[in-house]
Amino acid sequence: MTMISSVEAAREARVANPDWWRGAVIYQVYPRSYQDSTGDGVGDLAGITRRLGHIASLGVDALWISPFFKSPMKDFGYDVSDYCDVDPMFGTLADFDALIVRAHELGVKVLIDLVLSHTSDQHPWFQESRADRTNPKADWYVWADPKPDGTPPNNWLSIFGGSAWQWDGGRMQYYLHNFLTSQPDLNFHCPQVKAELLEVAEFWLERGVDGFRLDTINFYTHDAELRDNPALDPALRNDQTAPAVNPYNWQEHLYDKSRPENLGFLRELRAVMRPYGAAAVGEVGDAQRGLEILGQYTRGDDLMHMCYAFELLAKDLPTAQYVADVMHRVERVARDGWACWAFSNHDVPRHTSRWGLSDAATRAYAVLMMCLRGSACLYQGEELGLGEADVAYEDLQDPYGIEFWPEFKGRDGCRTPMVWDAGVHGGFSEASAARPWLPVAPEHLLKAVAEQEGDSASMLAHYRRAVALRKGYPVLAKGAQEIEAEGDVLRITRHGEGKEMLCLFNLSETACTAEAGEGWAAIEKAGALGAVAPLNRQVALGPWGFALLAR
């Protein structure tokens, strides 16, 4: 199949099934760390294409690829210098086209990570904008005069530490950067900026992508009056979106992000995507109002399709009561929206380490993810049961970790190379290749794909069965949900189109008994997943045990 016919066929399929994203399972790849095909120690697009068979074997619906655009790599691709080209370290546009074709041949859709809130300071747009105050792009970024005493225009803080304002001696003004100083924020109050970004989205849609993951979606628009953020009640502080050592957590972020004006741009973006049948999942970074914003941004059919907040990416182990409380809150504030859940990604420590999970607990949470209402994201290596790697200070690459070391070690521990075999470099690079950009964690080698492949008792096999569970029972993907905590037992009922399922999870180390009620029987796939069957009305759940029933 040619590139053009492949793109057209995929588009027709999406348009014919516009709800394909609802309840989908999405697999995230961090391209620097997935597969190195050139021997330079950095993963690339050709490497991802080489490993698409593994991704398809998981049974997932879609692949989300973190940024691969041209970039100075100060924040490893999240600082874009050209939205419409591939950075040479990752390959070429032809490599991307080949990836799209092969993924679609395997039945896997492709979402790419669009970073629209900010660019690199090396982007030609910013280079022109900073030249003077009268050039055509002078207001494409957020510029502001200093206060009379020369200090920044307000008290806004950067997630990466310090003031969110950086002085520029050329314009004799400050520019806004919610992240690194080398990541200036675009000005979404400027119509030309929004029009240009919509063209970027269309460029990739024409190239065949099935949708987008939208980085920091609630950071797009700032308060035009540049009002100070108020102080946050210390009792409400948490470290869901910034480490606890960062004073960013001391403000209530009312004016630097999550502005109501953002909804207009999201509607314009949805209108661009609609003819392509494409879908988007937005990252909502807000420690206090994440679920409310999720509800705002996904309400109806003219905004975003789905969003994820950080409630299940949080530091503390999600107990039965916590999960039930989160889902009840979603029902209150996002009843008409759609959530996308994840336990791990490229920004947080891997959940097996973050929560201190045993093998049994890891398996239980994997199945739980597939039983919750919403779409689901799996992060590369999660299917192997990988824990957080311990990266020495001298090996750190993440500027976030370098800034706050040792209280916060940054994000490198979840970004170490994927392990494909137990050999040198874990199969990420050839044995003779350059040292990988981050060291391969020795403890990961015993959990490599080749070590688990063919073992029906492995974590890899378990994840494949868990994904197959959702695919085999559509009520888990799109059905309504009722959820309650009964002590350590989480009770989830899913129903729709005449089907009903009951999913019971003992989220503790202590055996217990749960009441199932009348008429339930174990589902066909239950035994293979390690689930137990009811004994009359009672279900005996061992530590981290679960039961999957239907009637």
Query: Is 223 part of the annotated catalytic residue set?
Result: no
Which pLDDT belongs to residue 1? 61
Dihedral sign for Cα 298, 328, 382, 414, please. positive
- How would you classify residue 460: left for phi > 0, otherwise alpha for psi between -120 and 50, otherwise beta? alpha
Please answer whether residues 294 and 341 qualify as being in contact, where contact means their C-beta atoms are separated by less than 8 angstroms. no
Please answer whether residues 218 and 124 qualify as being in contact, where contact means their C-beta atoms are separated by less than 8 angstroms. no
Among residues 452, 444, 352, 427, which one has the least CA distance to residue 391? 444
Strands 340-342 vs 279-283: parallel, antiparallel or unpaired: unpaired
Among residues 201, 14, 44, 204, which one has the least CA distance to residue 104? 14
Q: What residues form DSSP beta bridges with 400?
A: none
The ranges assigned to domains in the chain are 3-119+191-470, 479-550
Cα distances (Å, whole numbers) of residue 466 to 220, 380, 463, 525: 36, 16, 5, 9
Strands 546-550 vs 521-522: parallel, antiparallel or unpaired: antiparallel
Between CA 310 and CA 482 the distance in angstroms is 21
Dihedral sign for Cα 376, 380, 386, 388, please. negative
Tokens of 432: 């003779």
Among residues 411, 76, 356, which one has the least CA distance to residue 243? 411
Tokens of 249: 């957590």
Count of Cβ atoms closer than 10 Å to residue 511 Cβ = 12
Which pLDDT belongs to residue 105? 97
Q: Cis before residue 406, ω within 30 degrees of 0?
A: yes
Q: What residues form DSSP beta bridges with 307?
A: 282, 339
Helix (H, G, I), strand (E, B) or coil at 318: coil
- How would you classify residue 368: left for phi > 0, otherwise alpha for psi between -120 and 50, otherwise beta? alpha
The H or E element that residue 331 is part of is: helix 320-333
Which pLDDT belongs to residue 6? 82
The H or E element that residue 179 is part of is: none
The 3-state secondary structure of 191-257, one letter per residue: HHHHHHHHHHHHHHHHCCCCEEEECCHHHCCCCCCCCCCCECCHHHCCCCCCCCCCHHHHECCCCCC
Number of residues that this document lists for the chain:
551
Mean pLDDT by 10 residues, the chain (551 residues): 82 96 98 97 98 98 98 97 98 98 98 98 98 98 98 97 97 98 98 98 98 98 98 93 91 98 98 98 96 97 97 96 98 96 97 98 98 98 98 94 91 98 97 93 98 98 98 96 98 95 98 94 93 91 97 93
Longest alpha-carbon distance in the chain: 78
Which string of DSSP letters, residue by residue, matches 425-440? GGGSS-TTSPPPSSPP
Query: Is 443 part of the annotated catalytic residue set?
Result: no
Residue 426, burial from CB neighbour count under 10 angstroms (0-12, 13-18, 19+): buried
pTM of the model: 0.97
Dihedral sign for Cα 195, 198, 200, 206, please. negative
The pair phi, psi for residue 5, each rounded to 5°, is -65, -35
CA atoms within 13 A on the CB side of 214: 33
Which pLDDT belongs to residue 463? 98
Single-letter code of the amino acid located at 62: A
Whether 3-119+191-470 and 479-550 share one fold: the answer is no
Between CA 534 and CA 545 the distance in angstroms is 12
Between CA 130 and CA 143 the distance in angstroms is 9
Which pLDDT belongs to residue 2? 73
Between CA 440 and CA 418 the distance in angstroms is 8
Collect all residues with Cβ–Cβ distance below 8 Å to 266 and sequence separation of at least 6.
217, 297, 303, 304
Single out the catalytic residue among 75, 283, 382, 488: 283
The H or E element that residue 533 is part of is: none
Between CA 381 and CA 398 the distance in angstroms is 19
CATH architecture of 479-550: Sandwich (2.60)
Single out the catalytic residue among 36, 215, 412, 488: 215
Count of Cβ atoms closer than 10 Å to residue 492 Cβ = 23
What's the CATH code, domain 3-119+191-470?
3.20.20.80
Which string of DSSP letters, residue by residue, matches 157-174? B-TTSSBSEEEETTTTEE
Single-letter code of the amino acid located at 164: A
